[in-house]
């Protein structure tokens, strides 16, 4: 058992778990209806401006992170989550990656909600883009200031991941506010992780 736990310590368990959770929720929404039907997605917990602002359904800020409009939406998010998450998790550890993902995602949803609510816009939104752009922000920070987080990755590989993330953002039918706020929050959380846990990483460089 100890050997198994030690082995799991060096696996991207959180990234795989998040991917599985998103896939499971997508399958359930498809089995019970259609992930491209707005009313069905609303019933499953997609974020509607008036429901949050006027009805106080703040839980939608969280549940909408695991909902996706159609398979293409899901597949593009899972692809980038895998590319960024597996690399970052090896460098910063399971808990920190999970916190950056969730805080960036919920934070991006809060900012997006206030953006549309203040403009009196009724918008139904869902997707993990804010959370994934949070990981992208952390990756940018690592590429610039904490190379030890991403081990033996070459600068070219880091650039390729960032290009993939940017391509994902350009082609996502989601508010740019969610993307940019998630990116900013991820970068900020990475700074906090470095300040609070200076020099403490899940992996030793020699393991790469």
Q: Which residues are catalytic?
A: 129, 179
Distance CA 88, CA 86 (A): 6
Mapped onto helix, strand or coil, the DSSP state of residue 124 is strand
Run of H or E residues at 48: strand 47-48
Neighbours of 151 (CB within 10 A): 17
Q: How many residues does the chain have?
A: 208
- Residues forming beta bridges with residue 48, ordered by sequence position: 124
- Distance of alpha carbon 140 from its chain centroid, rounded? 14
């Amino acid at each position: 058992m100890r050997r198994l736990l030690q082995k799991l310590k060096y696996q991207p368990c959180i990234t795989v778990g998040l991917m599985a959770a998103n896939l499971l929720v997508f399958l359930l929404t498809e089995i019970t209806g259609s992930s491209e039907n707005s009313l069905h997605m609303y019933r499953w917990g997609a974020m509607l401006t008036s429901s949050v602002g006027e009805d106080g359904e703040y839980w939608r800020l969280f549940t909408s992170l695991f909902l996706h409009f159609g398979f293409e939406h899901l597949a593009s998010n899972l692809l980038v989550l895998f590319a960024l998450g597996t690399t970052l998790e090896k460098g910063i550890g399971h808990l920190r990656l999970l916190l950056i993902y969730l805080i960036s995602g919920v934070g991006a949803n809060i900012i997006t909600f206030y953006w549309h609510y203040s403009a009196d816009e009724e918008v139904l939104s869902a997707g993990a883009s804010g959370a994934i752009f949070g990981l992208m922000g952390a990756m940018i920070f690592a590429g610039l200031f904490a190379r030890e987080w991403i081990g033996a990755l070459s600068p070219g590989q880091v650039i390729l991941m960032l290009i993939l993330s940017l391509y994902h953002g350009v082609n996502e039918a989601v508010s740019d506010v969610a993307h940019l706020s998630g990116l900013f929050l991820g970068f900020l959380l990475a700074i906090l992780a470095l300040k609070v846990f200076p020099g403490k990483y899940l992996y030793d460089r020699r393991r790469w």
